Amino acid sequence: MRKDSLYVIVGLGNPGIDYIETRHNLGFDFINFISKKWKIKVDTLKWKSEIGEGNIAFDDKEEKIILAKPLTYMNLSGEAVKEIVSNLSLPLEKLVIVHDDVDLPPGGVQFIKDRGDGGHKGVKSIIHHLNSKDFFRLRFGIGRPLDELDMVNYVLSGVPLKDKKLISKAFYLGEEILKTFINYGEKKAISKSNKKGIY
């Protein structure tokens, strides 16, 4: 298999029933979303992650896709991502990290590369373990709490219904961004970002 034909999409979150449908688990939720749409079962345990592999036809070409959900807990996500990258000898330009982001409103979506962690500890761990920021990120907005001191409780709490509706729309756009990235490259994918979350 040519390494340049392989794309790896890693959604960040915390394993366990206590964290299901919390704001901080949007990365996991998005992987669940596209695994159903792309018919890739994420049910293999390796590289400190749940992994799914499949071949997806995009326009006139077929690409190998790996979906992953690290099982290390959020703050140690870099350990799992490092294992994935190392075992696959994966070029970082073929890696997309999917995560929640308090700097975007609910429903907001942004595709970026080569940025700092923005205070996200999962992303911080990945940058540390890869010793690089040179990978792509698909950010889904969750907004900020009214009380900044309550950030931990905020990201670990459930998503309100009104925000769920916006995030659901954002997931469809996120899928379109990924397909655009794989088919046409980063510039067109970045141009599809919707940072304001208005639909």
pLDDT digits (tens, 9 = 90+) for 141-180: 999 988 776 888 999 999 999 999 999 999 999 999 999 9
Whether 120 is a known active-site residue: answer no
Q: Is 31 helix (H, G, I), strand (E, B) or coil?
A: helix
What's the pLDDT at 1? 42
- May I ask the CATH class of domain 3-191? alpha beta
How does the average pLDDT of the chain come out, rounded? Answer: 93
CA distance 13 to 122: 8
Instruction: Choose among 5, 6, 10: nearest CA to 81.
Output: 10
Instruction: Using DSSP bridges, classify how beta strands 6-11 and 61-70 pair: parallel, antiparallel or unpaired.
Output: parallel
Q: What is the mean pLDDT of residues 117-146?
A: 95
Given the residues 24, 99, 120, 129, select the one marked as catalytic.
Answer: 24
Q: What is the pLDDT of residues 50-78, one digit of tens each?
A: 999 999 887 777 899 999 999 999 999 99
pLDDT grade for 196, boundaries at 50, 70 and 90: confident
Long-range contacts, 111-114 (Cβ 8 Å, 24+): 111/136, 111/137, 111/138, 111/139, 111/177, 111/181, 111/186, 111/189, 111/190, 111/192, 111/193, 112/136, 112/137, 112/139, 112/190, 112/193, 113/137, 113/186, 113/190
Q: How many of the other CB atoms lie within 10 Å of CB of 144? A: 13
Please state, for a pLDDT cut of 90, what percent of the chain lies above it.
Answer: 81
SS3 43: coil
